[in-house]
Amino acid sequence: MAVITKTHALNVLRRAYGPDYAESVKDQLPDRLDLDEPKDTAVLYKLGLTPDRLVSALGGEY
């Protein structure tokens, strides 16, 4: 189970995609993202992100 907090995800998004992008999506992210949950991955896809890209930006492998 790969669960990250909204704060952590926003920090990664700021580093990876810039502060403007992170600010533009922050209200669309849930408080926790479970990368194994279809509803959470659907949110990421809607924002143009994939679990693989987010985990990769975190320095891990999915």
Q: From residue 61, how far is each of 6, 14, 26, 55 by CA, in Å?
A: 19, 19, 24, 6
Residue 48 lies in a domain: yes
The structure tokens listed for 2 are: 């790969």
Quick one: CA dihedral 12, 18, 20, 24, positive or negative?
A: negative
Question: Do the domain assignments include residue 50?
Answer: yes
| Cα angle 50-54-55, degrees, rounded to a multiple of 5 | 115
Residue pair 58/4 in contact (Cβ under 8 Å)? The answer is: yes
Residue 46 is predicted with a pLDDT of 86
The domain of 28 spans 3-57
Instruction: Domain count for the chain, please give it.
Output: 1
Largest Cα–Cα distance in the chain?
A: 29
pLDDT tens for residues 1-56?
689 899 988 988 888 888 999 999 999 999 999 988 999 889 888 887 876 776 77
